[in-house]
Structure 1
Amino acid sequence: MFCAIARGEAEASVVHADETVLAFMDLQPVTQGHLLVVPRFHAVGLEDLDTRTGARVWEVAHQLGRALRRSDLRCEGVNLFLADGEAAFQEVFHVHLHVFPRFKGDGFRLEAEWRVRERHELDAAATAVRRGLAQIGDKSVS
Structure 2
Amino acid sequence: MHGEDNCRCPLDGWHALGLMSGTSLDGLDVASVRFFQDQKTRAWSFALKSFSTLAYPDVLRDQLWSAINASAEDLMRLDHDWAHWAGQEVLRWMKDSEISVPHVVGSHGHTIFHRPSEGWTCQIGHGAVLHAILKAPVVHD
Q: After TM superposition, is the score higher than 0.5?
A: no
TM-score (ref. length: structure 2):
0.32
Higher strand proportion (structure 1 or 2): 2
Higher relative contact order (CA 8 A, sep 6+): 2
